[in-house]
Amino acid sequence: MSKPIGIGLAGFGTVGAGVYKNLQRNGALLEQRIGRTFEVKKIAVRDLSKARDVQAPASLFTSNPDEILGDPSIQIVVELMGGIDLPLAFVKKAIAAGKIVVTGNKALLAEHGNEIFELAREKRVPVLYEAAVAGGIPIIKSVREAFVGNRFEAIHGILNGTSNYILSRMTGEGLDFAPVLAEAQKLGYAEADPALDINGWDAAHKAIILASLAYGFWIDPKDVLVEGIEKVTAADIRFAEELGYRIKLIASIKADESGAIEVRVVPTLIPKSHVLASVNGVFNAVAVKGDVVGEALFYGRGAGQDPTSSSVLGDLAEAAAFLESPRQSVGFTAHSLYGRSKPIDDTISKYYLRLGVEDRPGVLAQIAGTLAKADIGILSVIQPEGLVDGSVPLILTLHDAPFGPMKKTAQELASLPCVKGTPLLLHMETFQ
């Protein structure tokens, strides 16, 4: 029997503790399936005195991550610390030391993926990161391996369970954002500081990783349109329903005819008939469209101790295979088919526009005229009766238009004397 593979865990929070727990629980199963065993040699934590729900021998714990890096019996490091600066330094040192890296750190890869994988290629050390996107859903392995023979036409995903829970509750109960956020925090679905979940950046980090993997170059975060769900109201959800749509925080990743890549993560109206519209609660889903495979859907829990640690265990099995038979791949392969992000202002979409307007003749003509000057066509109009905060709601859906001119036109509309309050501009996705 081969010697156990030594593992160093950097971080013992929710996911790190889950990895340790499930290695103990299913270690024998892994041995039967892959022919190797794993042994956790060290666990690096910030606070040695902290009480922990999952128990491990005190002798394993250290407050110095360098003890993991300097231990020759540790062949794989599992980085689950959170944050960026400390994990970046740790991961770079691990690669330089020739240790395989498994990480679930989406922000780290989104911000520094190019740097990390350049070093990994130089040292011929794999960096594995299934747990960084969509929790227990095996989307990274599928994009990297199962669909390797496909050109990706589009990837659309619900990649944040907190936002999806909030929008699902708002849809089902007719509630506004604030009380549902408070409920999500009480239930543990949202953090005390929920900013990254509700402002779109948690999902955006995951979208950057998926887009970079699919298109062969690392997407710069500044080239990604990111908006949160904070401004969506119960009225918007009701109007969307009347139009035949649901509002979801959607990550949209597409290549145009020239090979330019657009990535956006924004609240989006999607047809109620589309499968993503029925993904509710804290669940995630990713719809992939390839030129060979056609359409494929992945669905499951996008966060949590067990789903995410399941992805880490899968990466550990892949790392074990690499130790038995080293190969060229280090977890990301750059290629030259693409290589350019489309400027955010050039991306094209249909739109939902909500305005509060004065209840008097000629208002609709003013608004239609402003849109016509920008060459933006109107698809439909809803104007319910009754005042809301002293104005009448006016809901327009608009033809395909570049985002830059559309945003500028929305600002011009906001400056009209007949328009009250701040307009809400949302994207619409028809999946065509």
Catalytic residues: 206
- Read off the DSSP letter of residue 388: B
Tokens of 46: 């910030």
Could you give the angle at which helices 177-187 and 161-173 cross, rounded to 10 degrees?
Answer: 130
Write down the H helix ranges in 216-254. Answer: 234-243
Q: Which of 19, 41, 300, 287 minimizes the C-alpha distance to 154?
A: 287
Q: Which residue is listed with tokens 């003013």? A: 366
Please give the Cα distance from 85 to 175 (Å, whole number). Answer: 39
Please give the Cα distance from 303 to 295 (Å, whole number). Answer: 24
Count the Cβ atoms, other than its own, within 10 Å of residue 81: 24
Count the Cβ atoms, other than its own, within 10 Å of residue 60: 16
Whether residue 426 contacts residue 237, with contact meaning beta carbons closer than 8 Å, is answered with no
What are the beta bridge partners of residue 270?
246
Please give the Cα distance from 40 to 20 (Å, whole number). Answer: 8
Q: Provide the pairing of β-strand 38-44 with 61-62.
A: parallel
Tokens of 328: 């060229």
Dihedral over Cα of 168, 171, 172, 177: its sign: positive
